[in-house]
Amino acid sequence: MRGRSCCIRHEHVHAHDQSRTRNPLGGTMIVINAKITADQATVAALAEAIGKMERASLEEPGCSEYCFSVEVSNPGVFRITERWNSVEDLKAHFATPHMAEFQAAMAANPSQGTEIHCYEAEEIPFPAM
């Protein structure tokens, strides 16, 4: 299957849990990989906003993973991984009050850069197993 992707330019570590990685509807899922590069002066404010966003997003229908992590070698870089059951679930995510609050926090604490990649993907067996 050939995947579709889009690109927008503008460490929690979990054990592999099959129930959280598979789309419960079967077939493909929507995967977001993103990177926010923050100024050292805004890291604390962004971390607070990110924590709220992460907790609220995990409660949304269709969200099977929503995780922010910090690069060990560069603590000003946040990595984001999201998994959604459908594009519709992801679109609904952008209309939530916690997304508006997060966007306001981002505007008040501008990053040096944000990179977001959105993929339609299908899980395959882990090759080493």
The pLDDT tens digits of the residues spanning 49-108 come to 999 999 999 999 999 999 999 999 999 999 999 999 999 999 999 999 999 999 999 999
- Residue 12 has phi, psi (to 5 degrees) of -80, 140
Sign of CA dihedral 28, 79, 105, 49: positive
The b/e string for 12-41 (b: 16+ C-beta within 10 A; e otherwise) is: eeeeeeeeeeebeeeebbbbbebebebeee
What pLDDT score was predicted for residue 16? 35
pLDDT digits (tens, 9 = 90+) for 2-50: 344 343 333 222 333 344 445 555 678 999 999 999 998 999 999 999 9
CB-based contacts of 62, cutoff 8 Å, min separation 6: 84, 85, 86, 88, 89, 90, 92, 93
Domains belonging to the chain, first-starting first, are 5-9+25-121 (3.30.70.100)
114 has a pLDDT exceeding 60: yes
pLDDT of residue 116: 96
Q: Is the model's pTM score more than 0.85?
A: no
CB-based contact 106:86 (threshold 8 Å): no
- Per the CB < 8 A criterion, the answer to whether 65 and 89 are in contact is no
